[in-house]
Amino acid sequence: MSVNPTDAAEAQAVNAPAGSYRQEGRSDKYYNLISYIVSNAVAGEYIATDNYSEEVHLFPTLDEKSYLLHQAEEENRHAKTLMALCHRLKIPVVGRPVEPQWLAVRNTFAEAVAKKDVAACIIVQDVMIETMAVVLYRTLSGMEEADTDPETRRVAGAILKDELEHLDWGRNWIREHLQRDEAAVNASLTWAHHQVMPQMFGLIRNGCDFLCGDLGVECGSFGVEEIKTDLDSIRMLALDHYIESLDRSGFHPKVTSPLIATMSSYEGMPAALVGVKTGAAPA
Amino acid sequence: MNVTRRPTVLLTGGSGFLGSLAAASLLAGEECDLLLPVRSHHGQDQLLWHIGFGLKTLGLELTPALRERIRFGPPLEAERLKELEAALEGAPLAEVVHCAGCLDYFDKATLEAVNVGLTERLVDLALRRKVDRFTYLSTAYSCGYLEGTAPEGPHPDPAADPTDYTRTKRAAERLVAGSGLRFQVLRPSIVVGTIEGQYTGKRYGLYQLWNGMERLLCKKWLPVLHVVAPQRKVSLLHQDAFQRAFMAVRRDLPEAPYVHLTSRYETAPTMRQIWDLWNQACARPREVVYYDKVDDVPLLELDSRQRAFLSLAWANLQISSRHWHFATGHLEALRQRGLQLDDVTLASTELCQRRFIEGSEVVQRFIQLYHRAA
């Protein structure tokens, strides 16, 4: 039996004493942020495990079923790997989805399964969730100018490789099916986009609904500036990757551009004071 | 206890941009008390700041005497309307000035609920309270896509609407006009900063465009920029001109049922000029490829940031690709009677843009990095 080098490194790392992987000079706020981000990542992997498992019966061939079961296992392993990372870093982690956005995405997927809308299932899980996972792991692995500790970078980098494969599989499936029934796949995209993307972008924020309470950290006391980035940069990165995923899936810009236009309202319209002395207005 | 005999005006949307400017204008120009529904004490502080700013623009201060004329009421939620009515007890309600609205083009449910549903409830309240007048702040774009000049009158259903926003604003106008109340519908165009370039609204209109450029086109220098910039006039209005026009219309044309509030067409900049201003001040690409319509842009050939920019601005770019012309007979009549209004010009747009750039760290960093390198 061949041993996945990532698994071997992981097994070694899991056995290491807790706390020894913490990087010197990193603040508690930094580790609270990592705890918060990684818990969200675990939630995503948990949801993905459920999604892949749930859709197996919709696929007719044994090869496809086998592939999807393998995906589910892989996502499950990612969740455990991330929880082990938190153990090593001696930070709390929540091992299930608690944020309403994740639960809404999971419900959307279940709805697509109930409708037997296979294209929507693939779009939700393999294009949308995987795209956001890629953005998350690229950020955590330090590929996007974010400043994270070596252990988090290593784990995120390893998971990223798997997620890119999942994304590729989904995009290929969509491209092939767009050629067979373009109108139906476009309709699935439109439905999935309006259901899922507001939720996914709603997760790019400082603060939470429930997660911080479950983690035992003070909500709002830390933010992404701890890894030397900002929410807007992450949102723009997510938008870039989403557009790229849609393009590479073969969707025509005439279909996707009006959908992307709706994303301008996801975060609300920020107030602006232009040409007015700062500090002159209440926050 | 309110011991004055001043009539009370219920002003909705006071915590919004134009609502706060309308509130300042009412305090400055009329002898009335204002009842402003707000959500929180924090909201009250913000609102007072914005009213103060609006007063300053008119050369006044928010003095204790003026502050005394402002009362805050419960928010305009359906289930709290009784509380709002209770707040009106003992004070004769002279008028409703309805400025609250939803501007989110893509949130159809909220557009219906706020622009139509809330207007319906307020018209009902106004009828029950037998108010003297109902003023509705609409938009110049409530006409939808039509050929020729939009009249200062009721709009029939157009062939199409750019968004559900314009459709719901037109529906609200009809509710007000059909209520039997004495009414006035004010239709401002796109409001930009003051003639000095100061802006206190949300990032809508031109600021939405600049905000998109800041976020998506100022990460790295782009040698070739693809822009949707038709040589069509953009109907703009300075925020201080909005206030002066608002006051003048109420004072001198109280019986005009529909009034467009916008700068003179002749002085307005075109979308092409607005882009050129940005490119000169900031982007400085080696080559600019202009398009008249978003549909003409070869989207797949563009890099992802330009794609994202064009996609996010999709609705506004489609709107700007069309010809819009609004009748301004009422404002012209007021000008002939001596109303001084600063029109939006290319120069005043440039000043607004300069203020925006000065206040943006992202744009400043971009300029420092890339202009020097260039």
Name which of A239, A273, A274 to mutate to probe chain B: the one with the most chain B Cβ atoms within 10 A of its Cβ.
A274
Instruction: Report CA-CA distances (Å) from A206 to A8, A33, A225, A226, B60.
Output: 34, 9, 10, 11, 40
Chain A hits for B193, Cβ within 8 Å: 274-275
Neighbours of B156 (CB within 10 A): 10
Structure token pair of residue B163? 């968004």
Q: Look up tokens 């299932």; give the residue.
A: A121
User: For B184-202, what is the mean pLDDT?
Assistant: 96
Q: Would you say residue B4 has pLDDT above 60?
A: no
**What domains lie within chain A, and their CATH numbers?**
12-263 (1.20.1260.10)
β-strand pairing of B190-192 with B287-291? unpaired
Q: What pLDDT digit, counting tens, does each position of B206-265 carry? A: 999 999 999 889 988 999 999 999 999 999 999 999 999 999 999 999 999 999 999 999
Dihedral sign for Cα A85, A90, A93, A95, please. positive
DSSP B255-318: T-SEEEE---GGGPPBHHHHHHHHIIIII--SEEEEESSGGGS-GGGS-HHHHHHHHHTHHHHH
Neighbours of B138 (CB within 10 A): 25
Q: Domain limits of chain B?
A: 8-191+236-263, 192-234+266-324+340-373
H-helix or E-strand containing B336? helix B329-336
Contact criterion met (CB < 8 Å) for A271 and B219? no
- pLDDT one digit per residue (tens) for chain A, 283 residues: 333 444 545 545 555 565 578 888 899 999 999 999 999 999 999 999 999 999 999 999 999 999 999 999 999 999 999 999 999 999 999 999 999 999 999 999 999 999 999 999 999 999 999 999 999 999 999 988 789 999 999 999 999 998 998 889 999 999 999 999 999 999 999 999 999 999 999 999 888 899 999 999 999 889 899 998 888 888 888 998 999 999 999 999 889 988 998 888 776 655 667 877 655 555 4
Q: What pLDDT digit, counting tens, does each position of B296-317 carry? A: 999 888 888 898 899 888 888 8
Q: What pLDDT digit, counting tens, does each position of B255-296 carry? A: 999 999 999 999 999 999 999 999 999 999 999 999 999 889
| C-alpha count within 13 angstroms, C-beta hemisphere, residue B57 | 30
Check: CB of residue B127 under 8 Å from CB of residue B43.
no
Interface ipTM > 0.85: no
Who contacts B56 (Cβ-Cβ below 8 Å, separation ≥6)? none
User: pTM, whole model, 2 decimals?
Assistant: 0.86
Please give the Cα distance from A13 to B254 (Å, whole number). Answer: 78
Return the pLDDT at A231: 86
Chain B hits for A275, Cβ within 8 Å: 193-194, 196-199, 352, 355-356, 358-359
Q: Would you say residue B147 has pLDDT above 50?
A: yes
Q: What pLDDT digit, counting tens, does each position of B41-83 carry? A: 668 888 999 999 999 999 999 999 999 999 999 888 877 778 8
Structure token pair of residue A160? 């990223």
Return the pLDDT at A274: 80
Chain B hits for A258, Cβ within 8 Å: 311, 314
- Report the residue from B50, B201, B355 with minimal CB separation from A275: B355
What is the pLDDT of chain B when averaged over all its residues? 93
Size of interface A-B (CB pairs under 8 A): 109
How far B167 CA sits from the closest chain A CA (Å)?
17
Return the pLDDT at A279: 52
Better-predicted residue by pLDDT, B89 or A30: A30
Contact B198/A at CB under 8 A: yes
How far A145 CA sits from the closest chain B CA (Å)?
13
CATH superfamily to which B8-191+236-263 belongs = NAD(P)-binding Rossmann-like Domain (3.40.50.720)
Please give the Cα distance from B135 to B187 (Å, whole number). Answer: 11
